[in-house]
A and B are shown apart, each in its own frame.
Chain A
Amino acid sequence: MSGGTSRASLVTRILPPVPFGSRRAIHPFERSLYLYRRTWLVLASGFFEPLFYLLAVGFGIGALVGSVPGPNGEAVPYQLFVAPALLASSAMNGAIFEVTFNVYGKLRWEKVYDAMLATPLGVGDIALGEIAWALFRGLLYAIGFVLVMLVLGLFRSPFFLLAIPAAMLIGFAFAAVGMAATTFVRSWQDFDLIQLVILPLVPLLGDVLPDQHVPARAPGRHPADAPVSRRGPHSVARVGGDRTEPPGPRRVPGGDGRRRAVRRLAAT
């Protein structure tokens, strides 16, 4: 990749990377699938978290709150108001968790990616495969959550089914950015910094309160206007990098082995 590289790489950084990635990205995804076939309970348990939140916030706190003004001013029962927001924030949380804690564990401790790089897989394949897995996992949970909303009657229009793709969009944005952030993590303590960014977004500011209380809209509620979703693909390109490019000092995995070794030694 030499002639016209700058333009080509610019394009791949702006456009979604899926058509440009190699088909091998399916293999990290496949690995996760095999892995969770054995520990499917872990996977299934993720479904309960948003459900617990729905029951506690929607019905528990909802019983104290009663009705709140909805988007067009009419009073809406609190659980009806908060359910879609919980769907959105759980999509975000799920994606973030998968690409931060899990990816960091695989990268730094379990050396899964080192093993993968010993095969024909490239760095970009791994990044793409992992993000795809995070999204797939998110999709399962989003479907589950929407089914619960359906059973509990927490919807007013059939359009609420479109909340699933909306949640996917949120998940994608945060998975990509979260993975980029993970490459900068030095130790478990640094996850505090990631939490620092996530915390203000999670069910608090945009989600549990009607708009007039919210100074700025949280991306969690409005996937379409979130700047985060535009940054997503770019971050993939950055984490993935291209192996023919000189690896940046922090480009992980497959980057500068010496520096990583030094860090690893420093941490232990």
Chain B
Amino acid sequence: MTTAVGSPQTRGVDGPRGVGDLGRPGDSTLARIGRAYEHQFLLYKRTWRGSLFNSFLSPVLFLLAMGVGLGSYVDKGGGGALGGVPYLAFLAPGLLAATVMQTAAFEATFPIMAGFVWIKRYHAMHATPLEPRDIALGQLAWTATRITLVGAIFALVMVPFGAVHSPLVILAIPAATLTGLAFATPIAAYAATQNTMNRFNYIFRFGITPLFLFSGTFFPVEQLPGFLQPIAWVTPLYHGVALSRELALGTIGGEPLAAIVHLGVLLLFVVGGLVACLVAFDRRLLK
């Protein structure tokens, strides 16, 4: 336990109150994380329709317009730059990872900051036996659930489009989730330090949008000017897109080493972001 225990601000002057359903001091860490997770789940239960339907509509529209429509022009042009792969099959798995990244980034900005500044839900949670790390992990576990749902729906939509060339596409869903978390964890750590939403614009304008467009989702990174390619290599989305594409096309067996590198880079970002997140939540709630 931390120094906050028993301090009047966080515990109430007359001892531990409100312990009923909010979590008990004796709960295991996992149970406490579950409480924080449950909060998000209950919220989502009230508003899931819109977001779930969008999760269907977005891949349908993108694959229809860009994969099928624009793809017909790309394939007519020979498609040599794509290694003979139809544009739809090239685009779809990349877009899977990129879409999950976008959702993850959004979930890690406004809702996190709102939880500290506007709604103050994290402060409310902290007034119970939940520790900052329980709150952070519960929140991130929910983000992971949410983006896995988005990824799974996307993968499902890919099937009738004929954009799936291997049953390994199932593994592209956790790969996309990992990609999303590689963004969500460091961004959530940053969001936990913010009091307004102004700076989030920078993240989206100069981070998420350029990555979405230039990380090999829509066209191979080899088409980028030479000096930009190394930048693509160190961003998580490039690795997420490559991994997801190798899985959906079933070409992953050809280059196992590359796949391990992709996975390693993603894990590095997730672990680093996670640590940053724990520190940020700790600082914010215990200051």
A residues lining the B interface (CB < 8 Å): 39, 41-42, 45-46, 48-49, 52-53, 55-57, 60-61, 63-66, 68, 78, 101, 105, 109, 187-190, 192-193, 195-196, 199-200, 204-205, 208-209, 213, 267-268
Contacts and interface: CB of A to CB of B under 8 A. Distances in A.
B70 A268 contact: no
Interface stretch (B9-17, B73-81, B154-162, B242-250): B73-81
Given A49-B205, A64-B81, A209-B65, A199 B218 contact: no
Contacts of A192: 47, 50-51, 53-54
Contact of B54 (A78, A195, A208): A195
Nearest to B73: A65
Interface of A is mostly: helix
A42 B198 contact: yes
B196 to A, nearest CB: 8
Interface string B191-209: 0000001100110011001
22 contacts: A42-B202, A48-B206, A52-B209, A52-B210, A56-B218, A57-B218, A60-B213, A60-B223, A61-B74, A63-B223, A64-B74, A64-B82, A65-B77, A189-B47, A189-B50, A192-B50, A192-B54, A204-B61, A204-B66, A205-B61, A208-B65, A208-B69
Nearest to B214: A56
B197 A200 contact: no
Find the residue from B61, B111, B120 having the highest chain A CB count within 10 A: B61
B61 A61 contact: no
| Nearest 4 A/B pairs, CB to CB | A192-B50, A56-B213, A189-B47, A204-B65
Interface of B is mostly: helix
Interface of B: 43-44, 47, 50-51, 53-54, 57-58, 61-62, 64-66, 69-70, 73-74, 77, 79, 81-82, 87, 110-111, 114, 118-120, 197-198, 201-202, 205-206, 209-210, 213-214, 218-219, 223-224
B54 A199 contact: yes
Given A45-B205, A64-B81, A268-B119, A188 B70 contact: no
Given A45-B201, A189-B47, A204-B66, A199 B213 contact: no
Nearest to B210: A52
A9 B81 CA distance: 60
Contacts of B57: 196, 199-200
Find the residue from A53, A61, A200 having the highest chain B CB count within 10 A: A61
A195 B66 CA distance: 19
A16 B273 CA distance: 50
